[in-house]
Amino acid sequence: MQSSWSCPTNGPTKWTGWDWERAWQLALRRTNGMSAELINCTQIREFLTAMDEAFIGGDCKKFEKALIALLDHCAELVNRGDYQQWW
């Protein structure tokens, strides 16, 4: 996943406030409308916890990795037919 807010591969790994806002908005678009069953799913909770911890620590690489894992996991659930798309 390549985007304009990806962490730099060298040099400082700090995002601006705007970068964090855009990243959280992407996560919220995926989680809004999620069923209670999915919100309580251990794996999804782990992704959300990792993103929260990364945000608190200012670790954009960890946040991005957890966000991509969340997006991929949700897409996989829908593609397998386990759930209808909610985002």
In a domain, 27, yes or no: yes
Quick one: pLDDT at residue 1?
A: 41
Of the candidates 85, 65, 69, the one whose C-alpha atom is nearest the C-alpha of residue 77 is 85
In a domain, 55, yes or no: yes
If one counts the domains in the chain, the total is 1
**What global pTM score does this model have?**
0.79
Identity of residue 16:
T
Each of the 87 residues of the chain gets a pLDDT tens digit; together they read 444 455 555 544 678 899 999 999 999 998 999 999 998 999 999 999 999 999 999 999 999 999 999 999 999 999 999 999 999
Find the domain containing 46 and state its range. Answer: 17-79
In a domain, 7, yes or no: no
